[in-house]
Amino acid sequence: MLNMILNRKGEVSLKTPLLGTNFFINIYDMVYILFIIIISISLIVFGKFFIDKGSNRAIVRYNGKEIMALDLRKNQTVFLLKKDYPLLLGDMEIEVKEGKIAVVKEKSPYNYCSLMGFTGESTRPIICQPNKITITVENGKESSGNNQVDAEVR
Amino acid sequence: MSFYMMGERRKMKKEKDREQKKEEKIRRYPKQKIFFPSEIFKIMKKVKGTGLLLFALALFSSCLGKNEKIYTKTVEDLFDTVHVISGYDKSEKDFSKKVEFYKKEMEELHNLYTSYEDIEKVNNIKTINDNAGVKPVKVDKRIIALLKDSIKWNREISNKVNIAAGGVIQLWEKGRQEKRIPNHEELERAKKCSNIDNIVIDEENSTVFLKEKCTRINVGAVAKGYAVEIVAAKMKKEGMDSIIISAGGNVKVIGKRKIPKKEEEVTDLKSCKTDFCIGIMTPIYNDKELDNGNPYKRRDIPYISKIAVSDTSVVTTGSYQRYSVIEGKVYGHIINMDTMYPEEKFSSVTVITENSGLADFMSTTLYLLSFEEGKNLLVKLRGIGRIDAIWAMKSGNIETTESIVDGEDYVKYDFK
């Protein structure tokens, strides 16, 4: 068993039958050990609850370049104007609602990107090829909800 | 006296005190082995800081719990489409490296397989076409491989997909842009130049020669899938797995899901727990007039069916995404060389097979064959591995090959 003796100098003497040794640990050593334990626990807690989560956001790219990052926790409407982005076929309206994003108005031959509707899944980006716009969700859910699809063939 | 000297003196005094304490303890416990806390610091110095080591361990343990998760990135402007790459990785940075690898490899293949662009210092399909009837063109071995396989599949599987029919395809592309039907005589002339034997491949010298001046190669029905297959094989060789490549709707799956889904996350397709889940889009035009009477518009479902797959390719051919309305009639982009007109037998045809290039070839072939002909062809091809198909009939009925059964890895929805 472990015997602990506190001497006058505030040192703790630990005696174990296994080792037959007296270890002297002073208050600084105890603080040091406690510090390491607290740091370890807090890092584990931090990693578990904060690192993985992050905030959901959507990255809007025009002609391959990132032009804005939209916070999906905030309902908002964003307009991309043809005068600012000349490769657009017309002005475009992007809406963020309840953690999901959609292109609600756009000009293109077949309107595929507005047809796609709202997405909050990282595996379902919005692609507006004729307008040179792509929208990808970061830190989004995996395939979920009713669709449960990782990729689409068309 | 300098600060440095003062510091040195203080250090020496501390060292002396420590030694005195040590001697005192030895006097008090003469028979016991004594461990002095000060020795910890000496050891710490030797191992360059045990504390630092412990701290690093704690940091590592905190990261250990961090699961890999799925990331998605897009690659644009290659093969005239947007490529969506999804895969499991520890960080976005690591995943981006994989996507960069894909992009670099695909870019090279795009430059080789394009029949529309001149690329500096590259002899590509366009260079071969431009030198038709003039001289053989020295090309990269990846062009030779693509042309050889396409010709082999045309001769051994079905001649419905003909890469020498570029002339006919060009006339239709021009017609769709100008919203007019190509002149029949022009089409007939182009058809006469579409003999696949006009493509002469010299493997030894790595050259390709088109015997007739009017022959044009168009690899649109094969090249994208073929390129994806090459790059996917390289990625797998490099140790990259659990990745889905969707090249404008041509899907290639490398490996299977790295982190299985929870039971409650999977509803109608149980195999999606470990396999990747692919949705086959509902063939609608998104146009009120064109979708008038379209049975797939009856239900508001984004997919006609879903399939759970691993290490395979899923490719769909249909006209509902690339078409033109000329004089009130829809003309798609898949040309039947027998009639020289766009084919409209099915709403879509999907092929599931391992090789992405073959999947591309087969989906176009089955789109051009009748349902019975297609089914019989797949029975004949059983020897070369799994090739399954899903036909979305114009009636709203979904037909499949026999091995695809509604159940754990396949589900279809009724539109009738």
| Per-residue pLDDT at B331 | 86
List, as ranges, residues 302-361 from B with C-beta within 8 Å of A.
302-303, 306, 314-316, 318, 321, 350
Local structure of B9: helix, strand or coil: helix
CA dist list (Å): A92 to A62, A121, B347, B386, B392 = 12, 21, 30, 44, 33
Does residue B383 surpass a pLDDT of 90? no
| Per-residue pLDDT at A129 | 80
Tell me the average pLDDT across B266-294: 86
How far apart CA B147 and CA B203 sit, in angstroms, is 11
- Put simply, whether A23 touches B (Cβ < 8 Å) is yes
| Per-residue pLDDT at B235 | 96
Task: Name the pTM for this structure.
Answer: 0.77
- Residue of B72, B73, B302 with shortest CB distance to A147: B302
List, as ranges, residues 56-115 from A with C-beta within 8 Å of B.
61, 63-64, 110-112, 115
Q: Count CB-CB contacts under 10 A for residue A35.
A: 13
Complex ipTM > 0.85: no
List, as ranges, residues 243-302 from B with C-beta within 8 Å of A.
244, 246, 249-251, 253, 261, 265-269, 272, 276-281, 285-287, 302
Pairing of strands B34-35, A21-25: parallel
| Per-residue pLDDT at B353 | 96
CA A107-B287-B413 angle, to 5 degrees, is 120
Per the structure block, which two tokens stand in for A72? 């999906």
How far apart CA B276 and CA B387 sit, in angstroms, is 18
C-alpha closest to that of B331 among B171, B195, B191:
B171
**Single-letter amino acid, residue B53:** L
Residue A62, beta-bridge partner list: A65, A133
- Residue of B65, B269, B314 with shortest CB distance to A47: B65
Chain A residues inside the 8 Å CB shell of B281? 152-154
Per the structure block, which two tokens stand in for B340? 């020289």
How far apart CA B380 and CA B139 sit, in angstroms, is 34
Per the structure block, which two tokens stand in for B109? 């293949």
Residue B306, beta-bridge partner list: B279, B411
Continuous segment of H or E residues that includes residue B75: strand B69-78
Q: What is the pLDDT of residues B173-195, one digit of tens each?
A: 999 888 899 999 999 999 999 99
Tell me the average pLDDT across A44-52: 65
How far apart CA A113 and CA A117 sit, in angstroms, is 7
Chain B residues inside the 8 Å CB shell of A52? 66-67, 69
Which residues have C-beta within 8 Å of that of residue B43, sequence separation ≥ 6? B50
Tell me the average pLDDT across B288-300: 82
Give phi and psi for B328, each to the nearest 5.
80, 0
Chain A residues inside the 8 Å CB shell of B82? 127, 129, 134
Per the structure block, which two tokens stand in for B115? 């029949």
In this prediction, residue B161 has a pLDDT band, given cuts at 50, 70 and 90, of: very high
Least confident of B52-66, B220-234, B275-289: B52-66
The alpha-carbon gap from B290 to the nearest alpha carbon of chain A, in Å, equals: 11
Chain B residues inside the 8 Å CB shell of A22? 29, 32-35
Chain B residues inside the 8 Å CB shell of A40? 54, 57-58, 61-62
- Put simply, whether B36 touches A (Cβ < 8 Å) is yes
Least confident of A5-9, A71-75, B134-138, B234-238: A5-9
| Per-residue pLDDT at B185 | 94
Per the structure block, which two tokens stand in for B18? 């420590």
Least confident of A18-22, A137-141, B47-51, B248-252: B47-51
The overall average pLDDT reported for chain B is 87
Local structure of A85: helix, strand or coil: coil
| Per-residue pLDDT at A11 | 62
C-alpha closest to that of B102 among B256, B278, B274, B229:
B229
How far apart CA B375 and CA B403 sit, in angstroms, is 12
Q: Count CB-CB contacts under 10 A for residue A52.
A: 12
